[in-house]
A and B are shown apart, each in its own frame.
Chain A
Amino acid sequence: MATEKIARFPDPHEFKVPEELAGWEEMYPSHYIFAKERGEWESRQFWYQDKIHAPEPMPPLDLIFQEAWQISLAQYTTRVFCIPPAQGIAQRMVGCYMYICAIEPPPPEIIKEKAELFGKRVFYVFEHYNELWEKWLKKFQALGREMAALKVPQELPKYVPEDQVLPAPRGYYASYELIEVFNTLVSQMFKGWQYHFEMLNLTYLAYLMFADVARKLFPGISESAIGKMVAGAYVSMFRPEEELCRLSRLAASYPAIGKIIKRDVPAEQKIAELRKTEDGKRWLAELDKVRDPWFYVSCGSGWFYYEGSWVNKLDIPFSYMKSYVERLDKKEKIERSVEEISRKRDEIVAEYRKLIKTDEDKKSFENAYKTVRTIYRYAEDHLFWVEHWFHTIWWDKIRDIGKLFVKQGMLKEVDDIFMFNRFEVPEMIEELVTGWALGEGIPLRGSYYKEKAAKRQKILAAARKWSPIAALGIPPKEIAEPFTVMLWGITSDKVEEWLKGAAVVPEVGTKIKGFASSAGVVEGTARVLKLLEEIVTLKEGEIMVCPCSNPAWAPVFTKIKAAVTDIGGLTCHAAIVSREYSLPAVTGTGVATSVISTGDTIRVDGDTGVVTILKRAHK
Chain B
Amino acid sequence: MRYTLNFDEVNKASLPAVGGKNASLGEMIAAGIRVPPGFAVTTDSYVSFIAEAGIKDEIFKLLSDINPEDIVSLNSASAEVQKLINEALMVADIEQAIREGYRCLCDKCGVQRIPVAVRSSATAEDLPTASFAGQQDTYLWIEGIDEVVRSVQKCWASLFTPRAISYRIKNNFPHEKVLISVGVQKMVNSRAAGVMFTLNPVNGDPSKVVIEGSWGLGETVVSGSVTPDKFVVDKIVMEINERTISPKNIECVYDLKKGEVVHTDVAPDMQNKPCLDDKEIKELVGIAKRIEEHYGSPQDIEWAIDKDLPFPENIFTVQSRPETVWSQRRKEPIIGKKSAYELLMEKALTSIKIRL
Taking beta carbons and an 8 Å cutoff, which residues of A are in contact with B?
7, 83-86, 105, 111, 115, 118-119, 122-123, 126, 205-206, 208-209, 212-213, 216-222, 224-225, 228, 348, 351-352, 355-361, 363-365, 367-368, 370-371, 475-480, 485, 490-492, 495-496, 499, 516, 519-521, 607-608
Contact = CB atoms under 8 A, between A and B. Distances in A.
B347 interface: yes
A83 B331 CA distance: 34
Contacts of B331: 357-358
B87 interface: no
- Does more than half of chain A's interface fall in helix, strand or loop, or is it mixed? helix
A492 B351 contact: no
A478 B343 contact: no
A492 B239 contact: no
A361 B336 contact: yes
B348 A205 contact: yes
B13 interface: no
A216 B330 CA distance: 13
Contacts of B278: 520-521
Contact of A85 (B340, B349, B354): B349
B343 A209 contact: yes
Nearest to A81: B348
B111 interface: no
Interface string B325-352: 0000011111111111101111111111
Given A478-B353, A519-B238, A519-B240, A212 B344 contact: no
Contacts of A607: 239-241, 243
B207 A218 contact: yes
Nearest to B298: A355
Given A220-B203, A367-B343, A84 B348 contact: yes
B354 A492 contact: yes
Given A83-B348, A224-B239, A370-B340, A478 B354 contact: yes
A3 B246 CA distance: 35
Interface stretch (B136-144, B229-237, B299-307): B229-237
B267 to A, nearest CB: 22
B186 interface: no
B206 interface: yes
B200 interface: yes
A480 B349 CA distance: 8
Contacts of B243: 607-608
Interface string B292-330: 000000000000000000000000000000000000001
B58 interface: no
Contact of A218 (B205, B338, B343, B345): B205
Interface of B: 200, 203-208, 232, 234, 236-243, 278, 330-341, 343-356
A118 B348 contact: yes
A157 to B, nearest CB: 57
Contacts, number: 159
Pairs A-B, 9 closest by C-beta atoms: A480-B351, A519-B239, A209-B347, A360-B337, A360-B333, A218-B207, A371-B340, A358-B333, A478-B351
A368 B343 contact: yes
Contacts of B333: 357-358, 360-361
B338 A364 contact: yes
A363 B344 contact: no
B282 to A, nearest CB: 10
B349 A115 contact: yes
A351 B241 CA distance: 18
B206 A355 contact: yes
B334 A361 contact: yes
27 contacts: A85-B348, A86-B351, A115-B345, A126-B340, A209-B343, A216-B334, A218-B208, A219-B200, A220-B205, A220-B242, A225-B207, A228-B237, A352-B207, A352-B236, A355-B206, A358-B332, A360-B333, A361-B333, A361-B335, A475-B354, A475-B356, A477-B353, A480-B351, A491-B354, A519-B239, A521-B278, A607-B240
Given A217-B334, A357-B331, A521-B278, A492 B236 contact: no
A222 B348 contact: no
Contact of B340 (A216, A225, A368): A368
A193 B331 CA distance: 48
Contacts of B356: 7, 475, 492, 495-496, 499
Question: In the complex, which of the residues B236, B331, B333 has the most CB atoms of chain A within 10 Å of its own CB atom?
Answer: B236
A519 B345 CA distance: 32
